[in-house]
Structure 1
Amino acid sequence: MLKSKTRRRVAAKTAAIGVVSAGLLFGAVPAIASLAAAPKPVSYTCTSVSGVAAASPYKLLMDVSGPLTSTPGSTIVVTWKLGQPAASPSLGVPAAIAVGDRLVVEAEVAISGSPVPSSTGNREVTGTSTPGAVASGVAPTLPSVLITLTPTATGVVAVRPDAFTLVHQQAAGTGVGSSLYDCTVANPAEASAAALTITVNTSGAGTGTPGTSTPTSTSTSTGTPTPTPTYTTPEPTVTVTQTKTSKPRKTTQIDKTPGGGAATGGGGEAGPDARMIMFGGAMMAAAAGIGGLMLRRRTATRG
């Protein structure tokens, strides 16, 4: 019973995790897709090399990308990618392109807005590509162009695609190409919708393309205080010396010394001298010895 309850709890948790993961996945996909700017269709009227205009305008796909913000004085690089229409008609080459030949786009971009960038109005830019071998009537990949500008004040700058000419240059020869198509904007509103808008401010906030931010370090100099010497006046030291005169001590010896003798505390008044006692003892020992000899002699005579 306990195992079945545990299995049901694990299954419920797994299902909940799956639902949350699916929600994050399907919710993140539209967010990521919204970050990628899709090319905008712009209607162009193009005249071929034969001088005959197309019956209907070409819905070319224009992708103008670059930083969304900048600062005054910084260089901005904008990329303009020209794409073939998603549906027919397309810009097919009237003659085959050999390997090594180049396609050149001589284009114009309209730069407007405030602040005033490095130059205003229409600017001519050029892009080159090597498409490889392209058969006659096939629509090749069109070149991209780069636009460089420098704003000088805060405000908004708009970069809008405009007319262009597609040129074919052969690899061998003088390098002089032949024009394939001359195209002009047929719908200005579509061109304005495809324009890139750049906000110029002093803070230099994030850009549309990933970049590397350089932190600005501010150093604050703090002065080191100079130590102030402290002078201390030494106080005089007074040394007091006391001199004490000792009184003569009273001697403990006997004041009265017998004449002719050393002051030993004794003398003639102390009684008989010890030498007399020793002399008497010696005499007694000598008398005893003599008496013993005499007794020994008498005994020997009798025997």
Structure 2
Amino acid sequence: MSITAAMVKELRETTGAGMMDAKKALVENDGNMEAAIDWLRTKGLAKAAKKADRVAAEGLIGVAVAAGKGVAVEINSETDFVAKNADFQALVAGIAGVALEVGQSVEAVKAATLNGKTVEETLNSAIAVIGENMTFRRLEVLEGETVVSYVHNAAAEGMGKIGVLVALSGDAAKAQEIGKQFAMHIAATNPLSLSEATLDPVVVERELAVQTAKALEENASSAKPKPEQVIHNNIIPGRMKKFLAENTLLGQAFVINPDLTVEQAAKEAGVEITGYARVACGEGIEKKEEDFAAEVAKTLQG
């Protein structure tokens, strides 16, 4: 596969690796980006990278909570200018409100009524008025004894660039108080799952493969190599334990009090976290990079 400069650039931005290392990683892995990231990590040339960190899109996340139920909706726009528009913000708030009442899926919300029309019709009308394409892309629904919400980089009440919902059981007043702190923690750390039990086995297997290859390679190049038994029984399990602690919500050090894990902090407060949802605007949407100079040159040639 032909390795392009754009691919090398993307890998460098994702991993922080040098240009030649990034190019070699892509060559060694036939252009497969994920495999190239793992190759660089095995060589100790890159940190773990989350795909969501490499993508962006404009728009807002709207959240709404009532009676043990919370929703987060993602409404995308083409530009950040529109995301700051009062009409667009009112639309996001309206869709979040409808989703709280009927939401189990994007399609169900689109078919529900908002301002005398269906949500889909209302969205299409807004596109015609504002003059920019908009999409209702995602919906997260969370239920529990107590559900707390938080928005990061708030543009208006109940909407921002990151929306978080946290479900808790236990004393309602304490759950509300510490739940907001947990939601802020989740916005900052973006855990992969609630606990080890809920973590995708494919993610665990992939990490184990990386850490095993890395540990064996480091040991092979060491001036004083350790017995393989030590590598497999101590070093690799230790690294996996650290990975799980850093990437599962309950295992993470609580940002408000790093001496405690989130699970310990919840226990001390007399509550239990039963679920969460974190929605960041633009996750998974690759923005097309426009080469303005090339576009102008093409126009002139025409």
As a proportion of its length, which structure holds more strand? 1
Decide: shared fold, TM above 0.5: no
Which structure features the higher share of helix residues? Answer: 2
With the length of structure 1 as denominator, give the TM-score of the two structures: 0.20
Higher relative contact order (CA 8 A, sep 6+): 2
TM-score by length of 2: 0.20
- Bigger radius of gyration among the two: 1
